Structure 1
């Protein structure tokens, strides 16, 4: 058994899982437990001084198992100054990126956002790098007159480093050979004449709440199971996804992210006329309901309820 102040660690994430927690989960299940020396759900967040260098020079490779362009570290809390000067640049606080973090109706912590600029303040050039710094609410952590715990509450934070990419664009120069042209159907739809597929993303922002994927209803020899699997796998949304609908998908399997239990916000999954799919074990991760229509080759659908 670990002594007080010594954290118990568990193996890194299992294959196929990605680490991208909600803000409240990061504070409740990781930062608070780190402060108290308790076991973490997964040993994926290392400790480094985030503000010792520019973000591109941090040991980003030490963080494994996350989603693209996101890295998490425990770090010493930043200074309260609006500007933090570094070699070759500086961090500046974004006033709109600060606020409380709530969990089960309680304020469990706070977040502030810092954008990284190249050059010298106040004439630097904003880059694509940003840091979200999470600190725990002292009232949420039992201190019990422990000075070490008090110091950690004051100084230890969890940082999410992001490299913000430009808005996605449909690149007509890299289409598959069989795809001749794409037609704008309006309301966000794109139809490709070559692969007989069409799909809609209701919101192309980082946090997509609803995603609808729809292919042609014509299951002929022109369709490629491999290509359709690549398409649906490349459209993996953020774990904040709440509703997913897939219609007339022609692959034999779904990508790993469909049914991934890390999608804790999911309340609706609809699968229509996915005639070739064998699907197992999706029901246990859903909160409310699942709609399945015409999965002709389903071999097992199981669910457990308390």
Structure 2
């Protein structure tokens, strides 16, 4: 009688999620459970984020678009350019600052003369105090990145939907909200979240700006 081989979801030491499962952590989970543990050489909850060198790949050539990485912002075809200011990642329970989130856009060509593409990177790093502590343990500064391609047609449709929903742009705030910043959605960031399901997670060290 033929013995059936067990189905393996491991490739190159990385767990491959079975069909129907999605790896979709919150910003806090990504920083606390993965980035912080990686920086301090602690066991990870699951080996679902591979470690690669992003400077060896253009975004469309990433094997899984997810990786741990020591960051370099230039690639063979272009470079990643920051868009806007970094935003804090705050723990839900303690309200403690656990990380910073930065949005970058991939530009084709040489710096200062490149043209923007639809490829977006969300880059997460530890606060400076934790980063310094991790440096005393290991020589690498890690960051975790999520890389995806924005779909232009989806972004346009989302804008049309919001315009129909909110009319002239005025939004009624819930009285329970303490401030408008906690109640209003950052439209640009929401559009960035509308990327491919094959988006990337990567941990990287920002040695270059």
Q: Shorter chain as normaliser: what TM range?
A: 0.5 to 0.7
Equivalent residue for 1:95?
84
* Runs of 5+ unmatched residues, structure 2: 1-12, 158-163, 166-186, 198-209
Report if the CA contact (8 A) 2:55-2:74 is conserved. Answer: no
Contact 1:10 1:41 in 2 (8 A): no
Any gaps of 5 or more consecutive residues in structure 1? 1-8, 61-70, 79-83, 171-186, 189-202, 209-235, 237-306
Name which structure has the greater RCO, CA cutoff 8 Å, separation 6+: 2
How many corresponding residue pairs?
152
Query: Which residue of 1 is the match for residue 106 of structure 2?
Result: 116
Q: CA deviation at 1:15?
A: 4.9
Greater share of residues in strand? 1
The 2-side partners of 1:159 and 1:207 are apart by 13
The 5 A counterparts of 1:123-142 are: 123-140=113-130
- Three-state SS of the structure 1 residue aligned to 2:67 is strand
Name the structure with the higher helix share. 2
Distance 2:147 2:33 in 1: 19
Change (3 A) 1:142 1:93: closer
Rg larger for? 1
**Separation in 2 of the partners of 1:165 and 1:10?**
28
Name the counterpart of 1:165.
Answer: 151
1:149-164 → structure 2 map (5 Å cutoff):
149=138, 151-152=139-140, 155-164=141-150
Q: CA deviation at 1:33?
A: 1.3
Kindly indicate whether residue 66 of structure 2 is the aligned counterpart of residue 72 of structure 1: yes
CA spacing shift, 1:90–1:32, aligned 2, 3 Å: same
Q: What is the alpha-carbon distance in structure 2 between the residues aligned to residue 162 and residue 72 of structure 1?
A: 10
Q: Deviations over 1:171-193 (max 9, x none)?
A: xxxxxxxxxxxxxxxx67xxxxx
Q: Structure 1 pair 53/142, CA: closer, same or farther in 2 (3 Å)? A: closer
Once the two structures are superposed, the pairs formed by residues 164-203 of structure 1 within 5 Å of their partners are 164-168=150-154
> Match of 2:152, SS?
coil
CA RMSD of aligned residues (A): 3.4
1:54: how far off? Answer: 1.7
The structure-2 alpha-carbon separation of the partners of 1:164 and 1:10, relative to structure 1 and needing over 3 Å to count, comes to: closer
Aligned-pair distance for 1:95?
A: 2.1
- Per-residue CA distance 1:72-107 (angstroms, 9 max, x = gap): 3211134xxxxx4432222211124x2221113011
Change (3 A) 1:105 1:140: farther
* CA deviation vs aligned residue, 1:204-260 (integer Å, no higher than 9, x gap): 95669xxxxxxxxxxxxxxxxxxxxxxxxxxx9xxxxxxxxxxxxxxxxxxxxxxxx
Q: Normalized against structure 2, the TM-score is what?
A: 0.59
Matches within 5 A, 1:151-300: 151-152=139-140, 155-168=141-154, 205=191
Contact 1:72 1:158 in 2 (8 A): no
